[in-house]
Amino acid sequence: MIGCIIQARVNSTRLPKKVLKNIDDKKNVLEFIINQVKYSKKIDKIVIATTTKNDDDIITMISKKNNCDYFRGSEKDVLDRYYYCAKKFNFNSIVRITSDCPLIDPQIIDNVIEKFESKNYDYVTNVFPRTFPKGLDVEIFSFTILEQMWREARLPSEREHVTQFILNHNEFKIGNIEYNEDLSNLRWTLDQKEDFEFLSNVVKRIQTRPILINHVLKILSDEPGLLKINAGFDPNEGIKKSKKEDIDFLKKE
């Protein structure tokens, strides 16, 4: 079974309660992501993985409202949350989606899954190297690999960012899909209030569902000024913070 685990919590560090913000007239960010993923033809089940904190009770309510299962686990150790979630639902393969990607494209999800199924890969993504805009990130790996990461990962960045362990070790067979041009400079992710302004402006201009990469590129071609709304932010802020925690962790050993 191919399961999609969408990690979500209310208390995001950079933009608190971002998943609860209404990105269009009907749906908040988390609901919008769920709806986009539901258009995938290859995912068998969607589960929302949140924390055990009381603040995240609302995440479980949104999950139920949208006919999705949910799982509650560690707030800080996201890898642990993924492992026990996948184990509970007996997933053979896990698609990882984060809740800062409201424009996640179901066709790209399916392309990543197809590549994963085509050969004996341990891990397939569309960000290694990145050619797609930031905010369309998809990853897939087997439960066997997830269990290995869960068992062996030690660094804080490896526990928080789930698949960082794979990128830190050269033993894994990694596959990547690339776009037909390099769009890695485009920022379609949701981490700052300016990102939300950009994304909500894009969404309200597109009536088609699901929203696909070409729909967004057409809007940006017609209205390039939209790109100025959230320009200038560091796309690697989160992982840089975790890497600093790695250094502190290693100093204590």
Say what the pLDDT of residue 14 is: 84
Range name among 115-129, 130-144, 232-246 with the lowest pLDDT average? 232-246
8-state DSSP, 127: B
8-state DSSP, 46: E
Confidence of residue 253 (pLDDT cuts 50, 70, 90): low
Chain length of the chain:
253
- 19's CB contacts (< 8 A; 6+ apart) are 8, 9, 10, 12, 28, 29, 30, 59, 99
Closest Cα partner for 34 from 109, 141, 86?
109
Assessment of whether the complete model's pTM goes beyond 0.85: yes
| H helices, E strands: number in the chain | 10, 7
Cα-Cα-Cα-Cα dihedral of 49, 52, 54, 59, to 10°? 10
Confidence of residue 199 (pLDDT cuts 50, 70, 90): very high
**DSSP reduced 3-state for 61:** helix
Q: Where are the alpha helices (DSSP H) in the chain?
A: 29-38, 57-65, 78-88, 106-118, 143-152, 156-160, 164-168, 193-204, 213-222, 237-252
Q: What is the pLDDT of residues 76-107, one digit of tens each?
A: 999 999 999 999 999 999 999 999 999 999 99
CB 172, CB 152: distance < 8 Å? no
| Domain residue extents for the chain | 2-252
Is 247's pLDDT higher than 80?
no
Find out whether the peptide bond into 16 is cis, omega within 30 degrees of 0.
Answer: no
Confidence of residue 233 (pLDDT cuts 50, 70, 90): confident
Q: Which CATH class is domain 2-252?
A: alpha beta
Closest Cα partner for 109 from 151, 72, 137?
137
| C-alpha 120, offset from chain centre | 23
Over residues 230-247, mean pLDDT: 61
Read off φ and ψ for residue 7, nearest 5 degrees.
-85, 135
Confidence of residue 250 (pLDDT cuts 50, 70, 90): low
Q: Which two tokens stand for residue 74?
A: 């560690």
Q: Which residues of 25-38 are buried (b: 16+ CB within 10 A; e: fewer)?
A: eebbbbbbbbbbbb
Distance CA 196, CA 23 (A): 8
Q: Which helix (H) or strand (E) holds 175?
A: strand 174-176
Distance CA 76, CA 171 (A): 26
Distance CA 2, CA 138 (A): 14
